[in-house]
Chains A and B, each alone.
Chain A
Amino acid sequence: MTATFVGMPPFPEAARAALADTQLRSNLAHATATIRAKRAAVVAEVDDWEELRLAGAAIKDNTLLHLDEHLVALEAALTARGATVHWATDAAEACAVVARVARDHGVDEVVKVKSMVTQEIGLNEALAAEGVLAWETDLAELIVQLGDDLPSHILVPAIHRNRAEIREIFERRMKDVGRPAPDDLVDDPARLAEAARLHLREKFLRARMAVSGANFAVAETGTLVVVESEGNGRMCLTLPDVLVSVVGIEKVVPTWQDLDVFLQLLPRSSTGERMNPYTSTWTGVTPGDGPQEVHVVLLDNGRTRALADEVGRQALRCIRCSACLNVCPVYERTGGHAYGSVYPGPIGAILNPLLRGVGTDEQVDSLPYASSLCGACFEACPVRIDIPSVLVDLRAQVVDAHRAGAPKPEALAMRAAAWSLGSGARLGRLERLSGVVGRVAGRLGRRTLPGGRRALGRLPGLGGWSGARDLPAPPVESFRAWWRRTDGGRTEERA
């Protein structure tokens, strides 16, 4: 399994399908507008927000640059506090560790805290293959799981669903896997949340093993941190006997005190709250409180590939807040599924290529182009990941990966453009040609733009552009030609 959904088409194709879904677009526009407003309000409360962002970025950079040392320290601290540390180079190894723990305890089900990394490695499918059922307990994850759906947002995986769709899913599916939805269920968020509470409670109370991720792992103390809202995380982290936490190696922060930065940046950026309802921290095993057997799986799965990328390395600062998704004009219109990965949106557009490498999969190669480079993501990112710069760098990597074979039409067009645009003289010659087009359009054109200029309408060969956009006819005289003819307007002024 990989971070990318199997068999997804490249972004432009997937986006076209998503854009045609008016229900999806209205669900997304409503949801992202709501969260954007909430985030803006709580960020504005913090006078030194920019300095906090700089601190968050710097702490993560310093950690990543000495990641080997911090991982060794983390392992030692965890082991000293009674946890068992496992290492996994890829998804298969990580899944095998979790499955082995389940088998050792003879469990046929586990409860899960919402975790991006376990989705990335396809843990649920891997456990199912071993006869172990994994119950998602986060409300949105439950909606996705019951709906046989795919997540479309990092924080709110079911953001593409509205309340009526959710009610229908609960009514239809809860009865197959446990306590049925109440008979009188209506599509009120509070009632839907209550249905989830009732449905999951029996699973929490009987669970013997839980699986979680971690938002942060503190190297010096071995402390893991889970940030959540509903209390499903606390249920999983507290009630079962056995806990396995799968932790990407980039989740490390060096010291306990470093958390003060991230516990301010994350909730405000993520749910748009001053603080999320629940944050749990635990350090190995605590006698008499919570799971008495604690495992931690430290996972690479492409992270060291991203770490080796000088420009892209900064993507590993990501704390999975999803602020970049919520402000992204592309994400707002296409939704998350179009990105074909558990990591959608701007961060997904860089993270997937960085984790998996470019040049082998058309879908992955399409992701760095799924952006207008507007920069809203960088502005919102609490750890200052310069996503536009990484996107541009990855585009170069995609192009470079294909330089060996026969050039694509785009490559030929770019070479031609570069040749024409590499000298004033050559550009001038091209403009004389376009001036002829302008003269013809001036005589034959029927449409005029407000302001008096001739317009070109639908044009064969310009389908991508002219399907919905008119184009002004080229001017008869370029600026360069005007400058030469009038000495920069001086002779015109005299005339």
Chain B
Amino acid sequence: MRVALSVTCVNDAMFPDTGKAVVTLLRRLGVDVAFPAGQACCGQPMVNTGYLDEAVPVVRNYLETFAGYDAVVTPSGSCAGSARHQHDIVARRSGDPALVEAAAGAPPTYELSEFLVDVLGVVDVGASFPHSVTYHPTCHSLRMLGVDDRPRRLLEAVRGLRLVDLPSAEECCGFGGTFALKNADTSIAMGADKARHVRETAAEVLVAGDNSCLLHIGGMLSRQRAGVRVMHLAEVLAAQEGAA
């Protein structure tokens, strides 16, 4: 199976360690992912702000870049959701039958936890991370993709990791892409409550499957000097701290 990594624009530019963690993790599990260099963005920022015409070349680039692979894996529930639910909308908007066909025939894009649990069939990925962790299920992975408890099962299998329940875990953190800027006050009000719930857990690390949400929650926690570290799920699953 030829598997491509869609690292996402946010991770590429801002969180390279997450991409590296995915590569390390998948190699450990025997999957040698490719990184097609033409990749850039899934188009979600434009689509979710209403700029469908602008999204057309971005989506075209995505579809061209990953055509020919058997599967795409991405460390983002939100971008996986975009690939699975929005690319056909953008393609139809373009009026280009070839793009519509490309969207329909695109290889499946899996969010990381789906790829691990459903495609590779693993839950114990050989990770070791002796810290207390709380997990925030991001909205798009939870409700758009339906990843359900896959990330939790993966975390529970990590050696040394102590998983602490996050109160009101399933409530949105308030990031929401351009929502965080267009409705900054509401976004911050939501983020403040999420950050409070994180602090209530007294966990050392907050883990999620989307760095954009962590950028928002982590940014609030940092401003509050909460001392909580935020980490992408991939980085925890790649970790082999203190392992022999």
Chain A residues proximal to chain B, CB less than 8 Å: 11-12, 15-16, 19, 329-330, 333-334, 368-376, 378-379, 388-389, 392-400, 410-411, 414-415, 417-427, 430-431, 434, 447, 449-451, 455, 457, 464-465, 467-472, 474-475, 477-480, 482-484, 488-489
Contacts and interface: CB of A to CB of B under 8 A. Distances in A.
Contacts of B38: 423-425
B161 to A, nearest CB: 16
Interface stretch (B101-109, B121-129, B186-194): B186-194
A465 B41 CA distance: 21
A474 B14 contact: yes
Contacts of A467: 184, 188
Contacts of B223: 457, 468-470
Given A369-B183, A373-B139, A457-B223, 12 more contacts: A330-B186, A369-B182, A378-B143, A392-B50, A399-B52, A422-B60, A464-B184, A469-B188, A469-B223, A471-B215, A475-B16, A483-B35
Contacts of B65: 424
* Band of interface residues on B: 35 or more
4 A-B pairs closest in CB distance: A372-B176, A469-B219, A395-B50, A374-B172
A373 B51 contact: no
A450 B41 contact: no
A397 B20 CA distance: 39
A188 B18 CA distance: 55
Contacts of B40: 420-424, 426-427
B130 interface: no
B9 A373 contact: no
B184 A395 contact: no
A450 B183 contact: no
A455 B225 CA distance: 12
B61 interface: yes
Contact of B186 (A19, A457, A470): A19
Interface stretch (B111-119, B148-156, B227-235): B227-235
Contacts of A447: 222
B190 A373 contact: no
14 contacts: A333-B190, A372-B190, A398-B50, A417-B46, A417-B54, A418-B55, A422-B57, A424-B40, A450-B230, A464-B181, A469-B191, A470-B222, A479-B16, A480-B35
A375 B139 contact: yes
A465 B219 CA distance: 9
A468 B188 contact: yes
Nearest to A481: B16
Given A418-B55, A450-B229, A470-B222, A434 B13 contact: yes
A380 to B, nearest CB: 11
A345 to B, nearest CB: 13
Contact of A372 (B23, B54, B174): B174
Contact of B179 (A372, A398, A451, A457): A372
Contact of A374 (B15, B139, B231): B139
Interface string B18-34: 11100110010000010
B11 A12 contact: no
Interface of B: 7, 9, 11-20, 23-24, 27, 33, 35-41, 43, 45-52, 54-55, 57-58, 60-61, 65, 85-86, 89, 93, 139-140, 142-144, 170-172, 174-192, 215-216, 218-220, 222-223, 227-231
Contact of B12 (A12, A411, A478): A478
Nearest to A328: B172
A464 B179 CA distance: 10
A400 B93 CA distance: 12
Contacts of B179: 369, 371-373
A470 to B, nearest CB: 4
A374 B142 CA distance: 9
A15 B51 contact: no
Nearest to B32: A488
A465 B16 contact: no
A478 to B, nearest CB: 5
Contact of A488 (B35, B86, B188): B35
Given A19-B185, A471-B219, A478 B13 contact: yes
Nearest to B37: A424
Most A CB within 10 A of own CB, among B38, B39, B143, B189: B189
B186 to A, nearest CB: 5
B14 A472 contact: yes
B176 to A, nearest CB: 3
A392 B175 contact: no
B48 A482 contact: no
A58 B108 CA distance: 29
Contacts of B186: 12, 15, 19, 330, 333-334, 370
A478 B17 CA distance: 9
Contact of A450 (B36, B143, B174, B228): B228
Contacts of A12: 182-186
A407 to B, nearest CB: 11
B16 A482 contact: yes
Nearest to A403: B53
Given A369-B183, A378-B143, A471-B215, A329 B49 contact: no
Given A427-B40, A451-B229, A479 B7 contact: yes
A489 B20 contact: yes
B50 A489 contact: no
A375 B146 CA distance: 11
Given A334-B186, A488-B35, A414 B13 contact: no
A489 B5 CA distance: 14
B37 A475 contact: no
Contacts of B18: 479
A414 B57 CA distance: 12
Nearest to A398: B50
B222 A379 contact: no
Nearest to A480: B12
Nearest to A33: B168
B82 to A, nearest CB: 10
Given A374-B172, A482-B20, A392 B48 contact: yes
Contacts of B19: 479, 482-483
Contacts of B27: 489
B14 A475 contact: yes
A266 B61 CA distance: 45
Contacts of A388: 144
Contacts of B140: 373, 375
Contacts of A422: 40-41, 57-58, 60-61
B52 A396 contact: yes
B49 A395 contact: yes
A15 B186 CA distance: 7
